[in-house]
Amino acid sequence: MTTSGASNSTPGTLYVVATPIGNLDDISARALKVLGDVSLIAAEDTRHSARLLQHFGIATPLAACHEHNERDQGGRFLARLLGGEDVALISDAGTPLISDPGYHLVRQARAAGVAVVPVPGACALIAALSAAGLPSDRFIFEGFLPAKTAGRRARLEQVKEEPRTLIFYEAPHRILECLEDMQVVFGAERPALLARELTKTFETLKGLPLAELSAWVAADSNQQRGECVVLVAGWQAPEGEAAVSAEALRVLELLLKEMPLKRAAALAAEITGVRKNLLYQAALARQNDA
């Protein structure tokens, strides 16, 4: 790595360094080496990060890179990088850029031909997903939902029929309202999990249907504190009669009074656009219940 003050026509490297989300033992040996060797550390909150560096005996200078100054200060960091110095980017906790500042600096660095190197480590959403017991082969991360109920429900409606596992971050003072809105939009029985204070002393992972999870959080104010990750099972298309609209069933019932089942299902499919097989199965189910 290039040390501070070096003269070098070759640009330095921007290291995107993951830091612990709670348990300090989760920092990697590589991360510690990088943070100790670079010329400057761009930190979301220099006061917060100073305590982390002090704990590990790292004396590298810090400079603020947060959401309010990232666009303006990016040039300052870029100048250091283009001058041949190495810079590390860290957030308050976890992997930078994941619902944290840093995107603009990384984009500027790459556009300027500066090498950007990830130094992986803790990430709350991945930690929660790994222990949730929900499908993990395909998932989407929605970050933080809007703070107001109307905006939050509107965003949830957009992913209501998303089949992949849904992952959200939420502030502790909004977690109960968030779960209540999820219950309204996704339904009371949709499986979900609250992962709270991951890697910390009071770590909690609780999986329940949304209605039960919401009630559980409402009954215990301790579950309304700390950093929260909410995972919700993806939408599953209804099968059989549940997949057929009420109007299609009404048409089917009228036709069944006038013609054989197979013909009624075929004609109802032409009228309503619902698949013939679904209508046929629904008709069979109704005959068996009669």
Within 8 A by CB and 6+ apart from 173, the residues are 224
Query: Where is pLDDT greater, at 7 or 35?
Result: 35
Does the pLDDT of residue 43 top 60, yes or no? yes
Nearest to 38 by CA among 52, 17, 67, 64: 17
Least confident range from 113-122, 249-258, 272-281: namely: 272-281
Average pLDDT over residues 23-29: 97
Cα separation, 185 vs 182, whole angstroms: 5
pLDDT at 6: 47
Average pLDDT over residues 89-97: 96
Domain locations in the chain as residue ranges: 13-122, 125-232, 240-289
**Topology of 125-232 in CATH?**
3.30.950
If you ran DSSP here, which 8-state letter would residue 56 be given? T
Average pLDDT, the chain: 91
Does the pLDDT of residue 241 top 80, yes or no? no
Nearest to 214 by CA among 167, 186, 181: 181
Q: Count of residues for the chain?
A: 290
Which residue type occupies 190?
R
Does the pLDDT of residue 116 top 70, yes or no? yes
Cα separation, 19 vs 99, whole angstroms: 14
Does the pLDDT of residue 162 top 80, yes or no? yes
Does the pLDDT of residue 278 top 70, yes or no? yes
- Class of the 13-122 domain? alpha beta
Does the pLDDT of residue 289 top 80, yes or no? no
pLDDT at 240: 53
pLDDT digits (tens, 9 = 90+) for 181-209: 999 999 999 999 999 999 999 999 999 99
pLDDT at 238: 62
Average pLDDT over residues 109-118: 97
In order of 81, 219, 232, the CA distances from 168 in angstroms are 34, 22, 8
- Answer whether 14's CB lies under 8 Å from 114's CB: yes
Q: What Rg, from alpha-carbon coordinates, does the chain have? A: 26
Cα separation, 71 vs 169, whole angstroms: 24
Nearest to 18 by CA among 161, 97, 119, 147: 119
Q: What percent of the chain has pLDDT over 90?
A: 74
Does the pLDDT of residue 71 top 80, yes or no? no
Residue 27: strand, helix, or coil: coil
Going by pLDDT thresholds of 50, 70 and 90, the confidence category of residue 237 is: low
- Answer whether 83's CB lies under 8 Å from 12's CB: yes
Domains 13-122 and 125-232 share a fold: no
